[in-house]
Structure 1
């Protein structure tokens, strides 16, 4: 649903003004009008001279809008010429009548065949009145994107699930997507919709978007690629979709623009009108009708999706969900964000904080004797994974320390002391930036990687963990220090789940730990075959080792965990898969990460016993889904 105040602001200028703001196109139209070149439009003859004279003047949005406000026929003809709706055959769009438009789009005709072929018509089976309902497009192996108002025709939410509706005789309405349905082309390419994954809630804060799933099939067209950043006003784009006859609009005007041919795939070039900040939509001036709901808005030069068309006002403007919003929803895959805070509206709000060496002076870092018995940071073994060799001295922060990987430019291991009795609840304030004590090119920053890529800055030391102290100032320094790039490793957003992030809280609240104190070691598992994104090799597995003192025995208590984002890593589009947190023997972490803990720590592992290790076999060990799954006593 589009907020009415946003709509009012964005449609103040008629679309015609944007079309004829292009001086070469304006001059071409003026010349044709003056020469009587539109003989197939006799309705224009009476006003052709006035149209030519007006277009001979310099572009002026308000004057153009006033002139054409009472000349709907002339406006429709100009739209048909300057914002054509072109037929498509075998993925190739036809030649435009306008020389200026053809000059603009012809260089991209071959390159856009593949993206055009990934857009399809959503058809219905067993619906009471409708044969098809809108447009959709493929974004991943088995995912389709369309509009909320399209999906609601055949789907509805029931509890936490989305189910297919039933018709008047009780049969389920089914949907399929046909990636052909081109003019005078009998071929079809149909695939059934297997599941309605998510339909956005019908509130102002949520974009008009829905996610569907199809069965994986070798015959599916390639997934479309999402733009890594939002477009800017004035950029050349094209809408690919299936315009349908729309009873809300003037039949005569539609006939002149669409030639009385509807329900087939069309290519509609145009421009971005506005990309306002703080909202989830942009506006464009491509020619569309009702069936275009769910259309892909493609960057003309890149062929990437820059928006999801969802509606508009005839002769005014059209609206599309921004690519950054689509990307964010697909990345986190929680399918529930509705607030502006959760959506963040892209990366526009990111501000990098510049720290000085003085800002980080006096940091003692991780204390090995924090628990009483000495718990030193582990050493790296000769079998350490790719990226760990040559690790330098620790960087010290408030209550934690980090050892960097010189080759990966990411942390190799982090160590933090947590005092639960002195924890202070603080309001989150992101202050990401470089650590000035080492060179920038030894760290991975936002502009270089996290901004354009589909990864979050994954805290190795949790924000809350060092947020404790005798004073609020001390706690604030601890939390603020976690927002340095040296503490971040690329992680898919859905990795940041409760069972992983809250392990420290689980141990503090469910174990009989002395003084509510624990020490935690966290880091990635680097492997030589880790996949590369924008020049950065991204690890798939992570480890966490929690050390405490058992209040009953006074002895060390150690539990180790691993988590994988394998199966969630993006390829050409976005890939999603299950992930789990596992409790494992400490030796498993040592072997995978190439670490060696002290003899005392190794002996204190709750899974240190040979019997326990053998019983757990060689699989993924114990799955952790909540506090009750954690083992905090020695397994005999």
Structure 2
């Protein structure tokens, strides 16, 4: 690891010092004009250190700086003790972050004096500053702010798709909506030592681009007649061009705390000027595909997402920053690519000249977005109204008719409900002619010929459409094989359609599950015109309730029956460990339906407090995390492992066991999940733990709590869950990486190094 860090630093220093004629040129300029270290950073007096922050490390003297740079210049390995010193040099001098106060800035860095010393350059930068703002999330207590955005047209702000998806859902420009209870705004100030500015409300989500990591927001109150201009020159062909970014870098836990606090003076989330250079183009992972991104070497941090990347010579926006790898390279959506997109042009984005438009290589992604089902709200991206909705505006679903008859409103659903108006006449409900109201517990449709099941595929991340190196993601194993239940054939693995699992014999619950997940529409809906709803796939009537079923390949005594969940334990959900929607895919409708049915085996069930799988706004706790991982993946495929944490001290509940028997079972209080994706450099693995509180569980009600997942190391999941992951997955663990930081910031999850004992 030390050698890898040394090589990474050396390569990065070589790249960012080309502008100065190499590392020797940097040494010469720093030696001639470097600021005295005791003066501190430029700008206003340092703010008080963050509570709990490590004290800032003393500034390095000239001799250690020279020695560290000389080692790099001569191609020698950089000693570990010099790594942090070189990181600080990069942050402070070569690629600094400069405070913006009252829309102005002062630069004393020897390598970047032209930013404020050249009048024309300074004017261009200061013209851009007021049109860049911080994306605010009113009412969101889990995420301090969303990122950065900038004005690109009349009442129009551009930011990243992954920023917009914090508060909005949908894809494309036709079926967009705000998430339940979510709101957003932009503050064009947010400078150090100054009061917060006015938060301008995001009125509507105009576009969430289906290919690029870009979104457009309609915002009221933006400066009249002012907009940044997107350039037509392709940033991917401008390697070496000087650029600057204006954004709101956040504290980044990947970097040494003392180095960051020394450079940023403990000030994060405020407007900064960050200079650098373009570094060409490269394919990188983004929302289930590889995209041809522009690259740059600005020292961006979390919070810079959605920042404009400006041409220092013209002031035009050359790209939209969306991510990167720390001190390797950063990625941006090329503005020139957006100028070829007719829908971006039609949205009234301002370009430097006439945008070419025309056919693009991502037109198929627009077709997918157009054909996708939209949010149920049907608000077309508008912010939630604070007033009452007009009844006349309510959409009428298929199979529902509303008519007026005299002084009554008649609604057929197909129940007929007659509401008389103008008097206190009671509401009457009668069954429509020829229809009977029935409700029954029924097993969803499922295939009982288990010979067709191949189960989890470890090579699933190898998309046949991509010419990439083959990867394998093996299933987990039990830390002790003795705990595993054996099937009637003596095996310890049960294979289903698109997933497999192993049962814990004593606990009668899955120890772990392994499934293949895809969002590819040709696999989620392989045959147009078929019914892909949950009830349609399950063959259930409108009033039927799902009854889960035993797997005949395993002794019934090793499984918790459906009656345990439905007889008298109303505080528990029958929680899918493998999510039904995850595995409901196939190359044919029959395959997809088989996978849907398989998810209702009680072997895939674990007793969970009501609401455990849903956050407070009704969304799926796990589903959002999977969508986030896909946002940085190279294809639309995931391998997902999950299971309960089977603690021997879990609380025992006594419930129905069938035929009048009583069944004693311990209820897990924690669940874990590992999500594995393919990224441009190989594998990326994310580990999570979600806890449920059983303190208030009662026979007669469900506990309406919100459950917040924690990002944890895979090694910690191994410790608490009694499983072992393949070595390649532990090496791909994103707990301490930039991608892990993005999960924490964008999804509002906690980060925990260790899960405490019960």
Tell me if TM exceeds 0.5: no
Q: TM-score range by the shorter chain?
A: 0.3 to 0.5
TM-score where L is the length of structure 1: 0.45
TM-score where L is the length of structure 2: 0.38
